[in-house]
A = this chain, B = another copy of it.
Amino acid sequence: MTLKTAVLGASGFAGGELIRILDDHDGFDLVHLGAHSHEGGTLADVHPQLRNGTRPLGAISAEVGPLDIAFLALPHGASAALGRELREQGVKVVDLGSDYRFDPQWRYGLPELFDVKDGSAVASPGCYPTAILLAIGPLVQAGVVSATGIVADCMSGVTGAGRSLKDELLFGEVAEGVRAYGIANHRHRAEIEMGLELLGATEAIVTFTPHLVPMQRGLLATVTTQLLTDDNPSEVLAAAYTEAPFVEVIDRPPQTRWTVGSNRALVAAFVDERQGVVIAQCAIDNLGKGAAGQAVQAANLMVGYDETEGLTTSGWMP
């Protein structure tokens, strides 16, 4: 079986990674690549690293011919109408944007913690919520740690900020520096707290501080919160992820390099006895498990393929 598939939003970083993964996936047949400002051009204009660069870039629209499934990799706010129209036509949708992450009619596509199977529409999580929920979700769920008073300091590579042309993303502004942004009001915060509440927390409060680091890919979440029981957090996490093919619980600090290019998530938890807190970490590739890889994982589950089809747990570095 092969499904007629569109990537709408092909020109961005997540779009490119989706195409790279789907090109090697036997179950999805890429029949349409949609790109706003590059409509009428070819794939090589926006992703010269990808093969078959002569493929045309078409419209971003629900009227692009018969489709079985569409991946939307659009700027936040741009998926709403399109997602609705596609669903009305019976097209399955995986939306990598934020428009439907709080909508009960869409599955929240973090398969290790939420049920994604057999849905018809998936709202794929943000990269930061993915890493933070993988790091502490099972601990919150098991009542091992507090869901309030959480401090989540995260570090992301530059592709996490998207491919827009902004001064602050120039090489000459990013290299050799690190900085926080969106302190105390990043839009991912509410998504993280929603995720924790869906996992059973009565109330979740997270102080979330993202940082931009001079690298292309990779995201590390360092999450500190009160330990409430005598359980060994590392064992709780290991038990929770026994059946998860993409999550590995390790006993040393995870490096983002060990995940780049894959759909792998590396999780570790350490206890600071004096303070009575857990420091839980999760390293992912922001474009892999944090975006395109996870979207394909959810699509696999949604259409009945093996969860791991077309995805790898071997990273690229160096």
Contacts and interface: CB of A to CB of B under 8 A. Distances in A.
Contacts of A255: 48, 177-179
Contacts of A149: 275
A175 B213 CA distance: 11
B176 A13 contact: no
A318 interface: yes
Interface stretch (A75-83, A112-120, A218-226): A218-226
Contacts of A224: 151, 153, 207, 209
A181 B253 contact: yes
A211 interface: yes
A260 interface: yes
Interface in A8-36: 13, 16, 20, 23-24
A20 B313 CA distance: 10
A299 B216 CA distance: 33
A1 interface: no
What size tier do the contact residues of chain A reach? 35 or more
Of the candidates A180, A220, A254, A313, the one having the most CB atoms from chain B within 10 angstroms of its own CB is A180
B13 A178 contact: no
Contacts of A166: 165
Interface of A is mostly: loop
A286 to B, nearest CB: 10
A19 to B, nearest CB: 8
A240 interface: no
Contacts of A176: 157, 175-176, 215-218, 257, 260, 317-318
A304 interface: no
A283 B212 CA distance: 14
Interface stretch (A61-69, A228-236, A266-274): A266-274
A222 to B, nearest CB: 5
Given A24-B314, A211-B222, 18 more contacts: A20-B314, A23-B314, A49-B317, A51-B313, A149-B275, A151-B151, A165-B166, A169-B171, A170-B170, A171-B173, A176-B318, A177-B215, A177-B260, A179-B283, A180-B220, A184-B270, A209-B222, A261-B316
9 contacts: A51-B313, A158-B170, A158-B318, A165-B166, A169-B170, A177-B255, A177-B260, A184-B272, A211-B222
